[in-house]
Structure 1
Amino acid sequence: MNSFFFHTEEIKYRCIYGCISLMTIFITSCISIYPILFYMTKPLKVITTVSIMVTDLLEFWVVVVNFSVFLSFFLFFPTFLYSVWAFIIPSLYPVEKKIFSKFFRMSLSFFILGNLVSFYYILPLVISYCFQDNQTVGFLDLQYMPKLASYISFLSYYLLGFFFLFQFPVILIALIEFQLLTYRKLSSYRKIIYSFFLLLSAFLSPPDIISELFLTSILIVIIEFLIFYSCLHSKYKSINERDFLSDKKPK
C-alpha cells in the first residue's frame, strides 16, 4: 500500500513538473516570438521577392499565441520522454533497463533527426516548388503572397506530420523487440506498405516525381532495414533460447 501511495505521489510531482515545463516553454516562446518567427520563415527566403501578409487586426497576436502553444507541446516531447523513462526505469530488471534506455535514446535521436531533415532539406524544396509558378500561366497572372497565419498553420501540421513519420520506425522496432511483429508479417505486407509510402510521399513532398521518389526511397530503406533487423532479431532470440535449453538439460 505504501508503494502505491509512493508511486501516486511521484506521478503527481512529475505532472506538476510537466506543467511547469510547458508553461516555461510557452512563456519563453511568447517572449522570443520575433526571432522565432524570423527563423521559422527563413525557408521562404528562397524566394527573395516574397512578402508575408497580415490582413486581420489581431492576426499576428493570434499567431503568436497559437504557435507558442504548438511549440510548447512539440518541444515538451523530450521532457515527456525523460519523465516516463525516469518513472519506469527504477522498477525494471537490468536487461529491461537496457532495452528501455535504448528506445529512449532512439526516440530522442529520431525526434532531432526528423526536425533537421524536414526543416532544413525538405521544406525548402516544397517552398521552391510552390513558388516556381509565381508567373504568368496561360491567361492567369499568378503572384503568391502568403499570409502569416496560413504559413504558420502549414508549418505546424508539416512538422507534426514528420514527427509521427520519424517516430514510426521506433514503434516498429519496439513491436519487433517484444515479438509482437515478425519479419514474416512485414514481408507479407510489403506491397501494401510500399503503396502507403507512395501516397504518404505524395502528401509530404513537392508534387514533382523526383522529390516523391526520394522520400519514398528513404521510407523503403527504413522498412527494409526493419525487416532485416526483425530477421536478425528472430534468429538471435532462437539461438539464445536453444542455448538456454541445452544448458538446462541434465548432463
Structure 2
Amino acid sequence: MQIDLSGKTAVISGSTSGIGLAIATGIAMSGADTVINGRNQRTVDEALDTIRGHAGGATVRGVVADLGTLIGCEALKKAVPDADIVVNNLGVYGPSDIFATGDDEWERYFQVNVMSGVRMTRAYLRGMMERRWGRVVFVSSESALNIPVNMLAYGFTKTAQLSIARGVAKYAAASGVTVNAVLPGPTLTDGVRDMLKETAQKEHKPIEQAADEFVVAHRATSIIRRAATPEEVANMVVYICSPQASATTGAALRVDGGVVDTIA
C-alpha cells in the first residue's frame, strides 16, 4: 500500500517528541505539508531536524504555541489558516487518584487533553467539510476503557476524547471528512523512558527490558507482552489519515497490544 498525502496540509499537536513526533515524521514521509507544534522553540527546532533527517525534501515547519489555552490555539490557527489533516495528540499524564487530584489539576487535564482537541477540530473542520475532504484524529489511550485508578483524571480525559470523536464524526456525516480515535497501549516514549530510567539503572538492565517487564507486571492482559514503539502507533495514525481509510470513521481503533480484553 502506497500512502500519498501530497497536496495535503497536516497539523499535529504536541509533536516534538514521542508518539506525536513519530506521527509527524510518518505524515511528512507520505508527502504532506506538515506542521508540528510545541511550547518551546528549542524542542520544535530539534523535532524539525529529526523529521527532515528521516524525510528528506519534506515540507515541514513548526509553530510554537501552548495549545492547552485558547490563545495558543488561536495563534496556531492564525499561523496555519487551513488544514486537511488534524491530529489531536497533545496530552499530559501522571499519577493522580481521586484524593490526590485537586480542582486545578482536574481543570489542567481537561484544558490540555480535551479542549485542545475540541478547539483544533473547531478551527479546521468547517474548511474540510467545504472542501469535501479531511481527516481528524484524536490520540486517546487504552486508559479510556481501562480506567486506571492511579491516573483517574488522565483516564477521564481519554474517555472524553472517544465521545467527542464519535460525535464529530456523526456531525460530519457524508462530507468526505472522517473523524476517528486511536487508542495506544503502553508505548516506549521519552516520558516512559524517563519514568523507568532509575529502575533500569538500579537493576542493570536496558530500558527496553524494563519497559517490557513493566507491561507484563502492570498490563497483564497484554498479548504482545511488551511496550509498543511510537512508530507502531504512528503507522495506524498515518493510515487513518490516508485516502485509503475513507470508509473508516467514528471508530475507536486500538493499537494497545491486546491490553483491552474484549473482542469488540
With the length of structure 1 as denominator, give the TM-score of the two structures. 0.24
Bigger share in helix: 1
With the length of structure 2 as denominator, give the TM-score of the two structures. 0.24
Bigger share in strand: 2
